[in-house]
Every structure is written in structure tokens, then in C-alpha cells.
């Protein structure tokens, strides 16, 4: 058992003592499948917990009876783990599923520089900066609630839960249309409800510039970063989203645009409805739900049908979802959400599949990646180094 992490040894001991929990079975499954992706033994979906435990115990008793005369302990341990974990598979088809767990023996700690004070690097939170029409800035966070200002014919309110809302009111004198901007820093996220009742989610390091009240035949906003829209349907007024390289036009739909200035690709994913996208001087592309359009800074455009929509908007739902995702893309998300800088000394192209809450400490995310034995990390202050 020399090459088995300490916490796995601990769970194996509990297994034979009869005290293993469902979550510990899942941890065994995750650890085992990360090394043995060719194993496809599965339980039926309707098998109860009691039936799982009974089959597990029966299988191990039979195995121990037939193998008790073997003298090579390493062979015995390896087969015990394989039998135990194969019987404890509680999810179907996952190659690697990140699970938050605790045990008496922790896995090897991620290296932390002794030259800096060790502090937890916490995940992002609801925070943003609102820039009003006259240039005044307002810090938005959980501590700030209530009315902010009147902009044109619109009342601006900060609502508990990380939401800023614009509400039109009938003024005796019509005011000039003015523009506001909401921007999130690294380590921040925020929601908006525009004056037409369109809902907007901003990921970290993103922004949206918009009129406080829409007038005329169009509704147009400008964004950077990663933004998710649920556009309020209005057949008389198109909703237009512009980025540095693209224009998306809708009447009422749900979609996500990822257009960070420090990335080569602009990605548009359609969740519901219909969407027309034009990149610079290219032709118009009409998307249907499940389509994901990718545009590179070299001018290449591709459309992926039946894209992994859940992964594309996982950030909005408080998750990291990786589906054969390259390490460099994972670490880009890590930089923005945890407000850290990442330095690579290792292969950027190794790929990972799994899921984890965005509410986890950064060490939890890095530890899950380390379980694959494909990569190691070092934390020095706010710098994360990917080691060889």
C-alpha cells in the first residue's frame, strides 16, 4: 500500500471494520476510477443502499476466501480495492468526479511557501462596481442594500443576494437617456435586472454597459468577459449584445457569451430560443438551442452542435464543470474566481473531467486535480505555480 494515499488507506480500513459511509464509497470510486478508467463495472440505477452494502460484503468475503493463501500482500490489496470500489460505484459513466470529503488522514498537502504568511485563498463573492452617468462609482456588495440613485426616468436599487435592479417610473418630464456600467473584479460576480426586465449574470472580471432605459426600436448593451442573459421577450424591440468582435441579436432567449480580452476565442452558447450572431465582417450565423459558436482572433468560426450547455453556464449555477477541459483553461477560471496569478512549469495541455462547487477553498480544487497524479501545485501568497 506504499503508493496509496493515506486517506484512502484509512477508508479501506473502515471498509473492513464495517463503518464506511456512502460518501467514503464515492471517494474510493473517484480515486480508483482516476487510475483505472478502463473499469466499467456499474450498479443498477435502482439498487438500494442496503443492497449495495450486502453485495459489497458478500463479494469481499468470497474474494478473501479464495485469495487467503496468497502470500504477496500488494496483489491482495490491489484486488481488494478493485472489488470494493467496483461494487461501490454510485454514479454512472463518470471518469472522475470531484467529491468534497474529510478523513482522519489528509492527502499530501499542497506545497505552501514558508516565505509568505499562509492565508486561505477564498472563492469569489457578490461584488461589483457601478459607474453612474456622471462618473460616480458605487461599490456593490452584500453590505450595501436599498436605493442608490435616480438615473433618467429609472430608479436604481441594490437588492439582497447580489442583484442590482432598474425600474422605470413615470416622471412628469421625460429625462435624457443615460448609460451606466456594472463591472466585476477578479473574485467577484453580480446580477442585474435591466429596465425591460431582462436578467443578466456577470462572471468574474466582466462588465456590461447599458442605457438605464431602453427607447426606440432596439435594446443594445455592450459587454466584456463572460455574461449570461435571459432576455425578456419583446417582439417589437430586438435585444443586441456587442463585444469587441461580435454582435448577437435576439428577441427573447437565454444565452451566454464568453469574450474575455485576454483569450483568443469568443464563445457564444445558446440555451433557449434563437440567436443571430455576426463576427466582424463575417456572415450571420443563426443558432438553435444547444449550439455553441466559437470565433478565434484569427477569424476562424466553428459551430458545435449539442454542446455541453451545463458546463458552459456552470459558473452561473455556482459550479466548476470540466468536460475533458485542458489545464490552462481550468487555471484561467481559477485566476479569475480566486483572484490569483498562475505560473506554469508543467504541461498545460493535460485534460480533466469533473465537478466541484465554486464555494470551495482553492486548496480543495487543487487537491482534487492532484489526485489524478497528473499535476502538482505550489502556493506562494497569491501566486499558484503548476509544477512539473
Question: How do residues 300-346 score in pLDDT, each as one tens digit?
Answer: 899 999 999 999 999 999 999 999 999 999 999 999 999 999 999 97
Find out whether 257 and 225 touch, Cβ atoms under 8 Å: no
Q: Is the pLDDT of residue 262 over 60?
A: yes
Mean pLDDT score of the chain? 77
Mean pLDDT, range 38-60, rounded to an integer: 47
Angle at 277 between CA 276 and CA 278, to 5 degrees: 130
Q: What is the pLDDT of residues 349-363, one digit of tens each?
A: 889 999 999 999 999
Mean pLDDT, range 13-18, rounded to an integer: 60
Q: What are phi and psi of 226, to 5 degrees?
A: -125, 125
With a pLDDT cut of 90, the percent of the chain lying above it is 49
Q: Is the pLDDT of residue 204 over 80?
A: yes
**Cα(269)–Cα(304) distance, integer angstroms:** 9
Q: Is the pTM of this model over 0.85?
A: no
pLDDT, position 222: 97
| C-alpha grid cell, residue 275 | 440567436
| C-alpha grid cell, residue 358 | 465554486
**Cα(247)–Cα(238) distance, integer angstroms:** 12
Mean pLDDT, range 84-93, rounded to an integer: 36
Q: What is the pLDDT of residues 94-133, one digit of tens each?
A: 233 343 333 333 444 455 544 344 567 889 999 999 999 9
pLDDT, position 150: 81
- How would you label 241-277 residue by residue, b for 16+ Cβ within 10 Å and e otherwise? bbbebbebbbbbbbbbbbbbeeeeebbbbbbebbbeb
Angle at 367 between CA 364 and CA 368, to 5 degrees: 90
Is 104 or 227 the better-scoring residue by pLDDT? 227
- Among the residue ranges 83-97, 117-131, 198-212, the one predicted with the least confidence is 83-97
Find out whether 334 and 340 touch, Cβ atoms under 8 Å: yes
Of the pLDDT bands very low, low, confident and very high (cuts 50, 70, 90), residue 385 is very high
- Among the residue ranges 21-35, 191-205, 213-227, the one predicted with the least confidence is 21-35
Find out whether 279 and 295 touch, Cβ atoms under 8 Å: yes
- Among the residue ranges 148-162, 178-192, 219-233, 255-269, the one predicted with the least confidence is 148-162
**Cα(286)–Cα(215) distance, integer angstroms:** 26
Tell me how far CA of residue 286 lies from CA of 269, 290, 300, in angstroms. 12, 12, 16
**Cα(225)–Cα(202) distance, integer angstroms:** 8
What element of type H or E holds 210?
strand 207-211
Query: By 3-state DSSP, what share of the chain in percent is helix, strand and coil, each rounded to 5?
Result: 25, 35, 40
Strand locations in 42-195, DSSP E? 111-112, 125-131, 137-141, 146-151, 154-159, 163-168, 179-183, 188-193
Of how many residues is the chain composed? 388
**Cα(230)–Cα(232) distance, integer angstroms:** 6
Find out whether 291 and 307 touch, Cβ atoms under 8 Å: yes
State the virtual CA torsion across 138, 141, 147, 150 in degrees, nearest 10.
30
Angle at 254 between CA 249 and CA 256, to 5 degrees: 80
Q: Please measure the distance between the N-terminal and C-terminal CA atoms of the chain and give it in whole angstroms.
A: 25
**Which DSSP string corresponds to 80-107?**
HHHHHHHHT--SSS-S--------SSPP
**Best CA proximity match to 336, nearest among 144, 172, 124, 130:** 124
Tell me how far CA of residue 119 lies from CA of 112, 122, 302, 382, in angstroms. 10, 9, 43, 9
What is the CA 290 to chain-centroid distance, rounded?
18
**Best CA proximity match to 26, nearest among 52, 5, 2:** 52
Find out whether 334 and 342 touch, Cβ atoms under 8 Å: yes
Of the pLDDT bands very low, low, confident and very high (cuts 50, 70, 90), residue 5 is low
pLDDT, position 15: 62
Q: Which residue in this structure is represented by grid cell 461589483? A: 128
β-sheet with 111-112: strand ranges across: 111-112, 376-380, 383-387, 341-344
pLDDT, position 282: 72
Q: Is the pLDDT of residue 46 over 90?
A: no
Amino acid at each position: 500500500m506504499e503508493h496509496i494515499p493515506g486517506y484512502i488507506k484509512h477508508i479501506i480500513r473502515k471498509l473492513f471494520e464495517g463503518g464506511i459511509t456512502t460518501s467514503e464509497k464515492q471517494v474510493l470510486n473517484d480515486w480508483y476510477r482516476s487510475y483505472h478508467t478502463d473499469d466499467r463495472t456499474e450498479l443498477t440505477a435502482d439498487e438500494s443502499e442496503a443492497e449495495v452494502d450486502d453485495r459489497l460484503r458478500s463479494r469481499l468475503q468470497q474474494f478473501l476466501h479464495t485469495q487467503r493463501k496468497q502470500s504477496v500482500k500488494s496483489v491482495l490489496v490491489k484486488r481488494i480495492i478493485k472489488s470494493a470500489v467496483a461494487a461501490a460505484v454510485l454514479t454512472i459513466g463518470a471518469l472522475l468526479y470531484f467529491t468534497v470529503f474529510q478523513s482522519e488522514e489528509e492527502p499530501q498537502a499542497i506545497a505552501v511557501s514558508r516565505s509568505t504568511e499562509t492565508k486561505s485563498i477564498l472563492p469569489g463573492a457578490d461584488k461589483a462596481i457601478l459607474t453612474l452617468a456622471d462618473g460616480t462609482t458605487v461599490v456593490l456588495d452584500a453590505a450595501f442594500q436599498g436605493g442608490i440613485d435616480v438615473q433618467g426616468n429609472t430608479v436604481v436599487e441594490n437588492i439582497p443576494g447580489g442583484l442590482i435592479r432598474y425600474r422605470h417610473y413615470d416622471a412628469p418630464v421625460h429625462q435624457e437617456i443615460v448609460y451606466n456600467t456594472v463591472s466585476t473584479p477578479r473574485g467577484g460576480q453580480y446580477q442585474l435586472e435591466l429596465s425591460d426586465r431582462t436578467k443578466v449574470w456577470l462572471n468574474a472580471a466582466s462588465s456590461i454597459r447599458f442605457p438605464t432605459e431602453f427607447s426606440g426600436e432596439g435594446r443594445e448593451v455592450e459587454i466584456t468577459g463572460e455574461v449570461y442573459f435571459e432576455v425578456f421577450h419583446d417582439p417589437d424591440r430586438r435585444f443586441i449584445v456587442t463585444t469587441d468582435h461580435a454582435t448577437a441579436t435576439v428577441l427573447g432567449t437565454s444565452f451566454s457569451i464568453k469574450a474575455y480580452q485576454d483569450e483568443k476565442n469568443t464563445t457564444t452558447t445558446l440555451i433557449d430560443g434563437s440567436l443571430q450572431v455576426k463576427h466582424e465582417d463575417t456572415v450571420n450565423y443563426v443558432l438553435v438551442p444547444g449550439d455553441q459558436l466559437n470565433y478565434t482572433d484569427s477569424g476562424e468560426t466553428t459551430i458545435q452542435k449539442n454542446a455541453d450547455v451545463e458546463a458552459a453556464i456552470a459558473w452561473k449555477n455556482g459550479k466548476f464543470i470540466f468536460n475533458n477541459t485542458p489545464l490552462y483553461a481550468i487555471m484561467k477560471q481559477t485566476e479569475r474566481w480566486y483572484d490569483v496569478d498562475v505560473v506554469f512549469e508543467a504541461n498545460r495541455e493535460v485534460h480533466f473531467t469533473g465537478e466541484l462547487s465554486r464555494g470551495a477553498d482553492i486548496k480543495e480544487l487543487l487537491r482534487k486535480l492532484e489526485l489524478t497524479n497528473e499535476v502538482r501545485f505550489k502556493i506562494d501568497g497569491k501566486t499558484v505555480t503548476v509544477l512539473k
